């Protein structure tokens, strides 16, 4: 069944299938047999420098890198047509308590036999398809409630769908961080659609809004790859993003997923700008039971990456996740640093890095959009990790980033727990975001 059919089915009141409960597990922080990294004892981390061996002896030329120009969708022409349609207002109850998931600690799991296809790791990991949908559904509760609520309130305030209604709708979408251009487009197309359908009832107008958003999300998706670019041999992924967005956490969660799937995983603490950042990665390395290659705070990040690549090759590792510092305060420095890191990787692994993942915090709304734009200009970002989607009413950000920047969202963070990272599935996401609206029909 196609996604639009699913949406239609939801509008006609058919029940969704029940999915199994997800059992959340955590992994105790026990040192793995292979772990050779020195780790701070406590989670409270000092910023002081540490004595760590610095084996990287790389001399690197950094040539002037070129920025990638930002693609911008041209604005749709606005044709303002007067529409006078009477609304039957049907307020819908949407409030639902936010559930806080408890994470029960369990003994470290046994590493299963390696799976044949590494590319399937994320899909074949603990979550089945329906569990993934359920998790997305749970994580998006806040986003969904607010989205549905604001649309309902908007409907309740208008007796007729006139120009004022469309202006308010536009504002509502912008407030939910759907993005300026995308909001204008949705509103413009709705003006035509509502007239075309002669939509009079509140529910018809809501239905048109949801369908238009789905349509806009799905267009341009052809040829777009939402999956991580995993190789048969060593896969190297760089993680970039400003402080506090959830970079370290996302790396830790991903490392754990691959480790549980039987992969040999290494982490590289190449965010040497802050000692705290190195220590945080080490803590996540313990949690995920994977080794962390680290250097001195203030040291050369490329040297750490060099060590990590050497180690990964020597150990025949499958996955190397590199935590970098994302300091947008100085774009040229950042660009140079990332280029230097890439050169180090490419000397050893010519087609690496296989992903440059930009991590953005969904709760920062338009700031996340600005960061994504700036990073895209600085380096060739191949995918997005959208974190903290569980704690925001600004889920519209996904639509904005996808449609205005054309960066595919590959992973979403739906909580602070080690299991709260999911591959991005557009259908689950839109279903999750509009669930109440769809069920209200
Ligand atoms: N609710 C929620 N919190 C998250 C998520 N991802 C990360 N966090 C929290 O966000 C905070 C910052 O996460 P970090 O991983 O330390 O962020 P960072 O980008 O590595 O920051 P620096 O280490 O300062 O560079 C932590 O308290 C995390 O627990 C998520 O998906 N949902």
Quote the tokens at residue 389: 């989607």
Is 267 a residue whose pLDDT tops 90? yes
CB 390 near ligand 1, within 6 Å: yes
The answer, yes or no, to whether any atom of ligand 1 lies below 6 A from the CB of 392, is: no
CB-CB contact of 277 with 269 (8 Å): yes
Output the CA torsion 367→372→374→377 (10° steps). Answer: -170
CA of 334 to the centre of ligand 1 (A): 21
- Annotated binding-site residue? 26: no
Report pLDDT digits (tens) over 94-132: 333 333 333 333 333 333 333 333 334 444 444 466 777
- For residue range 306-346, list pLDDT tens digits in order: 999 999 999 999 999 999 987 655 677 777 888 899 999 99
Quote helix, strand, coil % in the chain, to nearest 5.
Answer: 45, 10, 45
Q: How far is the CA of 246 from the centre of ligand 1 (A)?
A: 3
Instruction: Write the pLDDT tens digit of every residue in 21-38.
Output: 323 333 333 333 333 333
DSSP state of 351: T
How far is CA 119 from its chain centroid? Answer: 18
Other CB atoms within a 10 A radius of the CB of residue 206 amount to: 24
Expressed in angstroms and rounded, the spacing between residue 366 Cα and the centre of ligand 1 is: 18
Q: Is the pLDDT of residue 301 over 80?
A: yes
Q: Quick one: pLDDT at residue 332? A: 76
Q: CB of 246 closer than 6 A to ligand 1?
A: yes
Tell me whether residue 124 is annotated as binding: no
- Average pLDDT estimate for 50-73: 34
CA distance 268 to 344: 13
Does the pLDDT value for residue 60 go beyond 60?
Answer: no
Q: Mean per-residue pLDDT for 274-286?
A: 92
Answer yes or no: is 241 a known binding residue.
yes
Ligand 1 proximity of 277 Cβ (cutoff 6 Å)? yes
Residue to substitute in 26, 44, 242, 249 for testing ligand 1 pocket (most ligand atoms within 8 angstroms of CB): 249
C-beta of 243 in contact with ligand 1 (< 6 A): yes
Which residues lie below 8 Å from residue 237, measured CB to CB, with a gap of 6+? 228, 319, 320, 321, 322, 353, 354, 355, 356, 357
pLDDT tens per residue across span 362-397: 888 778 888 888 888 888 899 999 998 876 666 677
Q: Check if the interface score ipTM surpasses 0.85.
A: yes
Is the distance from the beta carbon of residue 101 to the nearest atom of ligand 1 less than 6 Å? no
pLDDT tens readout for residues 389-425: 876 666 677 777 777 788 888 999 989 999 999 888 7
Whole-angstrom distance, CA of residue 418 vs CA of residue 339: 30
**C-alpha–C-alpha distance, residues 280 and 284, integer Å:** 6
Task: Say if residue 245's pLDDT is above 60.
Answer: yes
CB of 420 closer than 6 A to ligand 1? yes
Judged by DSSP in three states, 410 sits in: strand
| pLDDT score, position 44 | 32
Does ligand 1 have an atom closer than 6 angstroms to the CB of 364? no
In whole angstroms, give the CA distance from residue 431 to residue 141.
Answer: 11
Ligand 1 centre from 278 Cα, in Å? 14
262 labelled binding-site residue: no
Ligand 1 closest atom vs CA 391: 1
- Nearest ligand 1 atom to alpha carbon 359: 19
Q: Which atom of ligand 1 is nearest to the CA of 241?
A: 19
323 marked among binding-site residues: yes
Altogether, the residues listed in the chain come to a count of: 441
Q: Across residues 252-267, what is the average pLDDT?
A: 97
Residue 245, marked binder:
yes
Check: CB of residue 37 under 8 Å from CB of residue 292.
yes
What pLDDT score does 31 carry? Answer: 37
> What does residue 199 show for φ and ψ, rounded to 5 degrees?
-70, 125
Residue in 266, 322, 316, 302 with CA at minimum distance from that of residue 55? 302
Q: Cα(250) to centroid of ligand 1, in Å? A: 8
Q: How many helices (H) and strands (E) does the chain have?
A: 15, 10
Predicted local distance difference test score (pLDDT) of residue 394: 64
Which residue's entry shows tokens 């939801």?
10
By percentage, how much of the chain surpasses pLDDT 70?
60
* Residue 387 assigned ligand-binding role: yes
Cα 243 to middle of ligand 1, angstroms: 9
Residue that the structure tokens 């680290």 belong to: 294
Q: Name residue 270's beta-bridge partners.
A: 324
| Structure-model confidence comparison of residues 197 and 432, the more confident one | 197
Atom of ligand 1 nearest to the CA of 387: 31
The string of pLDDT tens digits covering residues 210-238 is 777 777 777 766 666 778 999 999 999 99
CA 301 → CA 57, 60, 126, 273, 339, distances in Å?
12, 12, 33, 8, 11
Residue 63: pLDDT over 60: no
Tell me, using a 6 A CB cutoff, whether residue 248 lines ligand 1: yes
Residue 207, pLDDT score: 76
325 is in an annotated binding site: yes
Residue 262, pLDDT above cutoff 80: yes
Mean pLDDT of the chain: 70
| Residue 278 pLDDT | 92
**CB 218, CB 321: distance < 8 Å:** no
Q: Which residue has the higher pLDDT, 200 or 376?
A: 376
What is the spatial distance between Cα 382 and Cα 6, in angstroms, rounded to a whole number?
30
Question: pLDDT-derived band of residue 243, with 50, 70 and 90 as boundaries?
Answer: confident
Q: pLDDT class for 79, splitting at 50, 70, 90? A: very low
Residue 268 DSSP symbol: E
Q: How far is CA 226 from CA 120, 328, 355, in A?
A: 13, 26, 12
Instruction: Write the CA distances from 249 to 161, 228, 285, integer angstroms.
Output: 45, 18, 10
Which residue from 416, 417, 419 has its CB within 8 A of the most atoms of ligand 1, so it is best to mutate? Answer: 416
CB 256 within 8 A of CB 226: no
CA 153 to chain centre: 29
Check if the beta carbon of residue 329 is closer than 8 Å to that of residue 273.
no
Q: What is the pLDDT of residue 408?
A: 85
CA distances from 384 to 38, 90, 381, 423 (A): 30, 38, 8, 11
Instruction: State the pLDDT at residue 186.
Output: 84
**The most confident of 64-78, 188-202, 318-332, 412-426, by mean pLDDT:** 412-426
Q: Which atom of ligand 1 is nearest to the CA of 413?
A: 31
Q: What are phi and psi of 85, to 5 degrees?
A: -125, 135
pLDDT surpassing 90 at residue 280: yes
The pLDDT, as a whole number, for residue 124 is: 42
Confidence at residue 350, expressed as pLDDT on a 0 to 100 scale:
94
| Residue 146 confidence (pLDDT) | 60
Q: Strands, DSSP E only, in 41-183?
A: 104-106
């Amino acid at each position: 069944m196609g996604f639009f059919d699913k949406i239609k089915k939801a509008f006609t009141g058919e029940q969704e299938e029940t999915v199994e409960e997800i059992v959340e597990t955590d992994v105790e922080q026990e040192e793995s047999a292979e772990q050779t990294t020195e780790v701070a004892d406590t989670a409270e981390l000092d910023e002081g420098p540490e004595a760590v061996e610095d084996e990287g002896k790389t001399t690197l030329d950094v040539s002037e890198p070129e920025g990638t120009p930002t693609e911008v969708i041209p604005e749709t022409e606005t044709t303002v047509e007067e529409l006078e349609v009477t609304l039957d207002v049907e307020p819908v109850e949407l409030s639902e308590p936010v559930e806080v998931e408890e994470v029960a600690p369990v003994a470290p799991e046994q590493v299963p036999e390696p799976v044949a296809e590494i590319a399937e790791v994320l899909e074949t990991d603990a979550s089945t398809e329906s569990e993934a949908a359920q998790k997305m559904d749970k994580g998006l509760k806040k986003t969904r409630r607010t989205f549905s609520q604001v649309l309902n309130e908007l409907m309740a305030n208008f007796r007729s769908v006139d120009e004022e209604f469309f202006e308010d709708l536009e504002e509502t979408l912008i407030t939910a961080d759907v993005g300026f251009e995308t909001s204008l487009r949705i509103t413009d197309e709705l003006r035509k659609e509502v007239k075309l359908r002669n939509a009079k009832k509140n529910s018809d107008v809501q239905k048109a809004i949801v369908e238009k958003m789905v349509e806009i999300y799905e267009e341009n998706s052809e040829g777009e790859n939402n999956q991580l670019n995993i190789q048969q041999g060593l896969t190297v992924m760089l993680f970039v993003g400003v402080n506090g967005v959830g970079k370290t956490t996302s790396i830790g969660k991903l490392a754990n997923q691959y480790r549980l799937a039987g992969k040999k995983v290494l982490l590289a603490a190449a965010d040497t700008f802050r000692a705290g950042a190195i220590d945080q990665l080490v803590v996540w390395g313990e949690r995920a039971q994977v080794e962390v290659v680290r250097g001195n705070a203030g040291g050369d990040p490329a040297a750490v990456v060099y060590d990590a690549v050497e180690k990964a090759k020597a150990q025949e590792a499958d996955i190397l996740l590199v935590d970098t510092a994302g300091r947008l305060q100085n774009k040229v420095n950042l660009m140079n640093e990332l280029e230097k890191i890439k050169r180090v990787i490419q000397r050893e692994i010519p087609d690496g890095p296989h992903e440059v993942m930009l991590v953005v915090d969904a709760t920062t709304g338009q700031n996340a959009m600005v960061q994504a734009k700036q990073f895209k200009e600085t380096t060739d970002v191949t995918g997005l990790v959208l974190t903290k989607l569980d704690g925001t009413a600004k889920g519209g950000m996904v639509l904005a980033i996808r449609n205005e920047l054309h960066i595919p969202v590959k992973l979403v963070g739906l909580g602070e727990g080690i299991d709260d990272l999911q591959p991005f599935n557009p259908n689950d996401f839109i279903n999750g975001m509009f669930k109440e609206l769809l069920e209200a029909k």
